[in-house]
Chain A
Amino acid sequence: MADEFIKGLGILTGSGLAWLVLASWYRTSSFESSKQLIEPLSSGATEGLFNIIGVTLMDVFLWFALLGALTFWVLIPAGHQIMSALEERRNAQ
């Protein structure tokens, strides 16, 4: 259980940090804005190969952070619970 927790936390923080940096590049007009990191893409964000890669990775990192934490904190433990419950039921019969 502790292993799953640190995997989820590592994915959430590591991937979240990468998303934070990229979103500060492409979705932040000012650090005093009250909508920083969630603004629409700044102009010129889709010009050039590297910018396109950066914008793509921003979404990849965000979803990896969310889905990774969900997987290791909810789905896999729930799967273990289901498996052990099925095992118990099978042994009881």
Chain B
Amino acid sequence: MSDNEPENEEIRSDGAGIVAPDDETPTWSERKARKTGLSRLTYEYFERARREDQDLRTESDYVERDVLAFPTWPHETVRNLSIASFFVGMILFLSATMPPHIGNPANPSTTPAVILPDWYLYWSFGLLKLGPLNPEIAILGDQMLMADRTYGVLANGVVVGFIAIVPFLNKGSARRPVEQPFWSAVGVFGVVFALTISLLAIKNLMPMNVDLLFDLTFLLPFVFGTITYAVLKTMREGYMYNLNRRYYRLRPPR
């Protein structure tokens, strides 16, 4: 191990002893050889950033602002440029290697065999296909209470209404899913349901039994939600969870 690592020294919250002087900053290979883990590296990185921020504040010409963050240039800009370059490169690569077939122009006088919205609206389109769930009322002589299409439109209202209510039920104070297993399970339920209801929307194209697909659409979200709840609830047992919870509640000193 390297020499500049303090041994049996209590960690102070002012950053001294954690931030190495510039000429002693370890190289990447030295950091890798330390085997002290990613959490330690992250801690040192932010501790160093915080120390630099503190040094800036003590300079005489420093103007106090309410914002405590990384500057846009170069930190944020370089990161965003690299991410943007990656995605532009992926678009160029995919469009060059897998050019899609350009079909005939649309014929406005006929309806195509397959009608679909854009993929991000499949979930809403799938909600229009809930016909088998539309209840029949025996009193009305086995008539439907409403048409299947009306039922589908109302289902959209139910889903959107539930999403609108969630922020009032849970204020979102948890920093990690393990802190609130139930609401994490609700989130996983929603994500999986969005996926399965989207697959129901394209049931004509799915290479599987349509009835099975319909059942799985409503079964899988409950399965994955339950698994999520069980796993997160299990993770809460034990020593490391309580230790981490205390660590994550720490805030940098003012």
Using a CB–CB cutoff of 8 Å, the interface residues on chain A facing chain B are 2, 20-21, 24-25, 30-31, 34-35
Any A CB within 8 A of the CB of B98? yes
Chain A residues whose CB sits within 8 angstroms of the CB of B100 once the complex forms: 31
Q: Is B92's beta carbon under 8 Å from chain A?
A: no
Docked CA distance A20–B38 (Å): 32
Decide if B97 is an interface residue (CB 8 Å cutoff).
Answer: yes
Whether a CB of chain A sits under 8 angstroms from the CB of B147 is no
State whether A21 touches B207 (Cβ < 8 A): no
Q: A20-B98, A34-B207 are in contact. List 13 more A-B contacts (CB 8 A).
A: A2-B38, A21-B94, A21-B97, A21-B98, A24-B97, A24-B98, A25-B98, A30-B101, A31-B100, A31-B101, A34-B205, A34-B206, A35-B207
Pick 15 A–B contacts, CB within 8 A, sort by A. Answer: A2-B38, A20-B98, A21-B94, A21-B97, A21-B98, A24-B97, A24-B98, A25-B98, A30-B101, A31-B100, A31-B101, A34-B205, A34-B206, A34-B207, A35-B207
Bound together, the chains give a CA A34 to CA B207 distance in angstroms of 7
Describe B's contact surface by its main secondary structure.
Answer: loop
Nearest residue, chain B, Cβ from A22: B97
Number of chain B interface residues as a range: under 10
Q: How far is the CA of A25 from the CA of B98 in the complex (A)?
A: 8
Query: How far apart are the CA atoms of A69 and B32 in the complex, in Å?
Result: 22
Binary contact readout B33-60 vs A (1 if CB under 8 angstroms, 0 otherwise) = 0000010000000000000000000000
Shortest 10 CB-CB distances between A and B: which pairs? A21-B97, A24-B98, A2-B38, A34-B205, A34-B207, A31-B100, A21-B98, A31-B101, A35-B207, A30-B101
Question: What are the residues of chain A within 8 A of B101 when measuring CB–CB?
Answer: 30-31
Q: In the complex the two chains form, what is the Cα distance from A30 to B114 in whole Å?
A: 15
Residues of chain B within 8 A of A31, CB atoms compared: 100-101
Q: How far is the CB of B38 from chain A (nearest CB, A)?
A: 5
Question: How distant is the Cα of A4 from the Cα of B98 in the complex, in angstroms?
Answer: 31
- Min CB distance A17 to B, Å, is 8
Complex: how many Å from CA A30 to CA B102? Answer: 11
A31–B206 CA distance with the chains assembled, in angstroms: 14
Q: How far is the CB of A50 from chain B (nearest CB, A)?
A: 15
Nearest CB of chain A from residue B103's CB, rounded to whole Å: 9
Q: How far, in angstroms, from A31 to B94 measured CA to CA in the complex?
A: 13
**In the bound complex, what is the Cα–Cα distance between A21 and B99 (angstroms)?**
10
**Closest residue of B by beta carbon distance from A23:** B98
Assembly CA distance A2 to B39 (angstroms):
10
Of chain A, the residue at the smallest CB distance from B207 is A34
Q: Nearest Cβ distance between residue A91 and chain B, in whole angstroms?
A: 19
